[in-house]
Structure 1
């Protein structure tokens, strides 16, 4: 698939960082703290876009992938954080995000050609060693300056690209066929060895087709 992007560069001291953003941020997508999970509500178009950007993070270890999501939660009226995906080798401190973000210019247009994300079934069986207690290749999360940072390896991003793709592919049909139980979701990080213990939250992605006007 072809993905329209905006490429930004900014310097912090001696280091230069590259930030990739979608050319058009998703309109119907929000992150919020739920009772048991970190909830991500998305419509089909937003889920497809985030899935593509998640896959891009797996192939762009030298870049921060910034997904603007700060739409007001349609249920609570509270704003949620953006999403930033980055490779752990960048060693970027989330505490510097506000400073870096302020230095980003308008960016340059770019088109990326991406393969389709893994299916949910294939991805969940792809690396069974992730379920082992000794596994250390896990996402580390931190919220800072209005953004949720998901820091991990290229393999980890590749193995979890199914999360939003599954909701985009199956959510609309499931909800349409079950109007009395219109809930389709995918989860990551609860007992599956994908999110580091101690401060990490499982992610609960929910398909939502009804959104109030802004």
Structure 2
């Protein structure tokens, strides 16, 4: 798919970063962090755009993807405080505590239009699925919440797997019973790395909701 983004090149000390965000607000999409259960609530366009952003993140090891989901229309359901979303590869080394300063340094940015390789994304997602059954499997999304932002850190395959799940939710959600009435319907879920020693599992519920006109 085609993504219309804004690209930023802020510096922190000697290092130049590349940050991208959607050019336009995902108006009908919101997010609350998994503590331990979070909610991603979106319409078809919002979930489809997020699928594309995860696909872009999968193939962009040296880029931070920032999705300011607090800028959309506040939902009238759900729980917890709304947060933004940041995607970054494990190897990037982004520390959540450094994000507020980096965000303040973004400036105005420049327009960027990119296409995602949907076939490669599906192949990478399938590779992740096959490896998931192995006893030594460790390729999971890690998450952290800081400064009203949910950070998801992962590998190419882990981001690709989530992209495929979100694309499926965008397409299948509108066809579920009750979706045409404006009710929110559970489409899928994203499970980041679980806490050591047990406890309630972390989960991000992904729900479709048709915008109310």
Q: Same fold (TM over 0.5)?
A: yes
Q: Is the 8 A contact 1:74 1:211 kept in 2?
A: no
Taking the TM superposition and a 5 Å limit, the aligned residue runs for 1:34-73 are 37-70=37-70, 71=72, 72-73=74-75
The CA RMSD measured in Å over matched residues stands at 2.8
Flag the 1:17–1:76 CA change in 2: closer, same or farther, 3 A: same
Structure 2 unaligned segments of length 5 or more: list them. Answer: none
The TM-score normalised by the length of structure 1 is: 0.84
Q: Provide structure 1 residue ranges, at least 5 long, that are not aligned to the other structure.
A: 190-194
Counterpart check, 1:205 vs 2:206: yes
- Per the alignment, residue 192 of structure 1 pairs with none
Distance 1:178-1:10 versus aligned 2 partners, 3 A rule: closer
Which stretch of structure 1 is more off in the superposition, 162-171 or 54-63? Answer: 162-171
Moved more, 64-73 or 39-48: 64-73
Distance 1:6-1:137 versus aligned 2 partners, 3 A rule: same
**145, 148, 153: which one pairs with 1:146?**
148
Shift of 1:34: 6.9
Q: How far apart, in 2, do the equivalents of 1:151 and 1:106 lie?
A: 25
- The total of aligned residue pairs comes to 205
| Structure 2 contact 33–150 (Cα < 8 Å) conserved | no
Counterpart of 1:116 in structure 2 is 118
Instruction: Look up the match of 2:24.
Output: 24
Residues 177 and 33 of structure 1: CA distance in aligned 2, closer, same or farther (over 3 Å): closer
Aligned with residue 183 of structure 1, among 173, 182, 185: 185
d(CA) in 2 for partners of 1:155 and 1:21?
21
Distance 1:142 1:35 in 2: 10
User: Deviations 1:8-51 (Å, cap 9, x if unpaired)?
Assistant: 01111122111010111200111125786211000111011101
Structure 1 pair 48–144 and aligned structure 2 pair: CA distance change class (3 A) = same
Q: TM-score, normalised by structure 2?
A: 0.84
Look up the SS of the partner of 1:48 in the other structure: helix
Query: Which is further off, 65-74 or 51-60?
Result: 65-74
Q: Closer, same or farther in 2 for the Cα pair 1:114/1:125, shift >3 Å?
A: closer
Change (3 A) 1:60 1:123: closer
Cα displacement string for residues 166-190 of structure 1 (whole angstroms, at most 9, x for unaligned residues): 111111122467869862411121x
